[in-house]
Structure 1
Amino acid sequence: MEEKTTYLDFLAKMGIGNAHPGGRALTEAILTKFPISKGEKVLDVGCGTGETSAYLFEKTKCDLTAIDLHPKMIEQAKARARQHGDPYQVMQANAEALPFSDGSFHRIFSESVTAFTHIPKALKEYYRVLSPQGSITAIEMTTEQKISPLEIEDIKSLYGVSQVLTEREWCEYFYKANFSEVIGYKEEDFFNSDQTLNYEMPLKFTSDLDQETIEIWIHHLEMMDKYRDILSYRIYQVTK
């Protein structure tokens, strides 16, 4: 039986590089507020097509490793790295079982990824591979209020996330994983009041586009409208 196309499959088929909330503008704003130093060991978890990875290296010249679990995403991320002369490592890996030794990285950068994992397992791994006083910057789907079980299942059915959490619930998970400090930032903490963000995904129509993929895109637009006052995100700055 043919496997059902998932939301992550949709992103891969469409070649979407900045699918996370806030897009490239938010990535740039985060690096301004929380700069990465040259040579700093950084793990980009869930790198997708590698657009942020390329920007991270270009902007900071950090010692970068980029990982993703989706084979099509990794294929695109490796191709992007080759275009830049392969200055950083790209590899297929699972956030829940990172193939790195303890204390390997100073920073973890993650854009709308951890919600798609088994959260406690992933956070345990993040903690393990971070050096003392290491930190995480993670953009994560976050609800503005507690929602009903039916609403949770509605969101999970499209996006395939493991849980749908409030900011408080996210913080609780980080603290349970032994992190010492967790701060959840809102979009407005990174931008002036007169700045507006473009939330449109930069679509690239590939040859394997099919009806099921189109239906996922339509469903996504419907969900964004249905939960526009409830479903949001936070930028979590977390210290080991």
Structure 2
Amino acid sequence: MSYTYHDMLAAYEIGNAHPGGRRLTQELIKSLPITSSSSVLDPGCGRGETSIYLAENFHCHVSAIEQNKQMADLARKNFHEHSVSINLHIGNVESMPFKDKSFDYILAESITAFTNVKQTLLEYERVLKSTGILLMNEMTIEEELLDIEKEELTQFYGMKSLYTENDWKKELAEAGFKTVDIIEGKTILQELEEYIPGEEDSSPPRIHLNKELEDKMSVHQELTLHFAEVLGYRVFKVTK
């Protein structure tokens, strides 16, 4: 069996793989005027930690979608343990089972870049209400890379393309979004230098992994350090 990057995250039960981790997620959520009547979408929900935080703290209507079956199973288990009612779908964010204009807010955390970006952004635009807000925390490249470097990164992470900040803005505009603001942005090096260990670091993996998965984690760590100055992230606040 050949494991993907997301299989590795599922095996390690990593719930906050995106830059900024739980801290940034909670800051972003608190910046939104979410009420108990709000409908919120958590695309690529992983273990479901963001969905749980939304449900427990805002008592809003939360829908989550996750393609990786192992991650979806972890999310379902976590929802049950926290006694929260969340509408969980196993599926692809490029073609979501939701009606047009279903959500007040979409919080996409390091998922869009791993998909067919054009199609996924069109789906976000479709299911977001006309007065809704899309928040995206997505990988960026800070400068153009050599073709061999691009291939190394896209092959390992299963991406089709790597995007600069301006590339993201262009894709969002083409998908029909009118306003794009940058809330936060750093290189991976800056993120590592400013990193403060948090609660998400306290629980080691609870299972023994095979060598292929362990090797994949090692490669991920090596790539992160090697490209720390040229890879980064941006948090986009987007409206129609």
The reply to whether TM is greater than 0.5 is yes
CA contact (8 A) 1:137 1:236 kept: yes
Matched, 1:110 2:119: no
Structure 1 CA distance, aligned partners of 2:96 and 2:140? 24
For residues 199 and 225 of structure 1, the distance between their equivalents in structure 2, rounded to whole angstroms, comes to: 17
Greater than 4 Å deviation, 4+ residue runs? none
Structure-1 separation of matches of 2:123 and 2:224: 31
> Alignment partner of 2:105: what SS?
strand
Aligned partner of residue 186 in structure 1, secondary structure: strand
Contact 1:25/1:197 (<8 A) preserved:
no
In structure 2, C-alpha distance between the alignment counterparts of 1:154 and 1:239, rounded to whole Å: 34
Q: Which runs of 5+ in 1 are unaligned?
A: 189-194
Measured after TM superposition, the shift of residue 32 of structure 1 is 2.8
Q: 1:224 to 1:184 in 2, by over 3 A?
A: same
Structure 2 residue aligned with 1:147: 145
Higher relative contact order (CA 8 A, sep 6+): 1
> In the alignment, what sits opposite 2:190?
none
Kept after mapping to 1: 8 A contact 2:44/2:67? yes
Q: Which residue of structure 2 lines up, in the alignment, with residue 50 of structure 1?
A: 48
Report if the CA contact (8 A) 1:13-1:208 is conserved. no
TM-score by length of 1: 0.91
How far has the Cα of 1:35 moved from its partner? Answer: 4.0
What's the secondary structure of 1:135's corresponding residue? Answer: strand
In structure 2, stretches of 5+ residues that fail to align are 187-192
1:100-133 C-alpha deviation (Å, 9 max, x unpaired): 1111111111110000110011111111111112
Aligned to 1:80: 78
Q: What does 1:1-240 align with in structure 2 at a 5 Å threshold?
A: 2=1, 4-187=2-185, 196-198=194-196, 202=201, 204-207=204-207, 209-240=209-240
Secondary structure of the structure 1 residue equivalent to 2:14: coil
Give the structure 2 partner of residue 191 of structure 1.
none
Q: CA deviation at 1:91?
A: 1.7
Q: 2: CA distance between counterparts of 1:179 and 1:83?
A: 37
Aligned-residue sequence identity (percent) comes to 35
Instruction: Kindly state the Cα deviation for residue 66 of structure 1 after the two structures are TM-superposed.
Output: 0.9
Q: Give the conservation status (yes or no) of the 8 Å contact 1:13–1:206.
A: no
1:208–1:72 Cα change, 3 Å: farther
Pick closer, same or farther for the CA change 1:204–1:162 going to 2, 3 Å.
farther
1 CA distance for matches of 2:59 and 2:175? 30
**Count of aligned positions:** 232
3-state SS of paired residue (1:125): helix
**1:234 is aligned with what amino acid?**
R
Q: Is the 8 A contact 1:106 1:131 kept in 2?
A: yes
Does the 8 Å contact 2:185/2:232 carry over to 1? no
Provide closer, same or farther for how the CA distance between residues 30 and 197 of structure 1 changes in structure 2, counting only shifts above 3 A.
farther
Provide closer, same or farther for how the CA distance between residues 185 and 151 of structure 1 changes in structure 2, counting only shifts above 3 A: farther
Structure 2: which amino acid aligns with 1:216?
A: K
Once residues 86 and 58 of structure 1 are traced to their aligned partners in structure 2, the CA distance between those partners, rounded to angstroms, is: 7
Q: What secondary structure does 1:102 align onto?
A: coil
